[in-house]
Amino acid sequence: MPGNRNRTFAFVIEDDAGKRLDAIIASSFPEISRTVACHLIREGIIRVNESIKKPSFRVNAADFVTGQIPDAPSFELKPQPIEIDILFENSACLVINKQPGLVVHPSPGHETGTLANGLIYHRPEINSVGGVPGRPGIVHRLDKDTSGVMVVAKTEDAFRHLALQFKERTIDKAYLGFVYGDMPETGHIDLPIGRHASDRKKMSAMNFSKSRDAETLWNLITQFDQIALVKFAIKTGRTHQIRVHSAAVGHPIVGDPVYGIKKPHKFFQGSPKIWEIVKQVCRQMLHSWKLSFNLPDTDNRIEIEAPMPKDMRNFHTSLDNIAAK
């Protein structure tokens, strides 16, 4: 656009899979109109996976969107003194242990009080990293009520390096979760995931026409009475992947308000002591346990582990106590 300075951006598609490219750009950069977004896309200034697309192109999860937009006042992300548990930090990135209940970045209904607000309070220098207003250095996300390991880029080079690792699936991700039912020792779920046909806020493993491949592995850690503690490893990074896959094979995550059992009290009719514990659960019992990746500055491989949070530890202890009696 003549006379305007441009600024670059890059991000990986996650929750916006299935949406039009021009709509995503316009919503991500409120300072430009949808008309301007369409112009930038048609001119090849904004690309998907390095390719020119039409404004109507519907993006897929893990697509890598790059480009430039006219320089304008940025989204004002306000720093807030939100506690952040830092597990590792160097000049290129920091790895945090996100607490449950914390939204990662601002969105409608969550304009403040997010991890992003806390990040720029503690590390103001990363405010513009990644080029997306309100998402300083954020390469990937966890659901609000999922706890655990997240990596955040501190520089543009680190952001691109980490985003490429996620895109090429070279980052290893391990989760811990409590699920309903009796689980086999090991398992493999290979079901595509896409937007739910009637509820656009949900994902589904049944909408095969617009789904993307998704692969989840699990290993049983401990089997209790109708509840199991499981280690998950995800080969892909689809939205709500573990929650959707677990529900699809009949073993939803305990406490999941979206994909969980609708009437769990009936499930535990024969195990009233277990039900007394389960009914106190306030969120999905899912934790991002380990993350293994190459450091952007040295390319050395590291593995970072986040301990299980207090509510999940207490839940585990209560199940152990019942099993011991």
Listed range (126-135, 183-192, 204-213, 233-242) with the worst mean pLDDT: 204-213
Give CA–CA dist 82/88, Å, rounded. Answer: 18
Distance CA 177, CA 12 (A): 25
pLDDT at 4: 42
pLDDT at 5 over 90: no
Domains present along the chain, CATH in parentheses: 6-70 (3.10.290.10), 85-168 (3.30.2350.10), 173-290+307-324 (3.30.2350.10)
Contact between 10 and 131 under an 8 Å Cβ cutoff? The reply is: yes
Q: What is the pTM of this model?
A: 0.77
**pLDDT value at position 323?**
84
Q: Is the pLDDT confidence value at 90 over 80?
A: yes
Distances (CA, A) of 200 to 195, 204, 213: 6, 10, 19
The yes-or-no verdict on residue 2 having pLDDT over 60 is no
Residues annotated as catalytic (active site), given as ranges? 143
pLDDT band at 1 (very low <50, low <70, confident <90, very high): very low
Q: What is the mean pLDDT of residues 187-214?
A: 80
**How much of the chain, in percent, has pLDDT values that exceed 70?**
94
pLDDT at 258 over 60: yes
- pLDDT for 45 beyond 60: yes
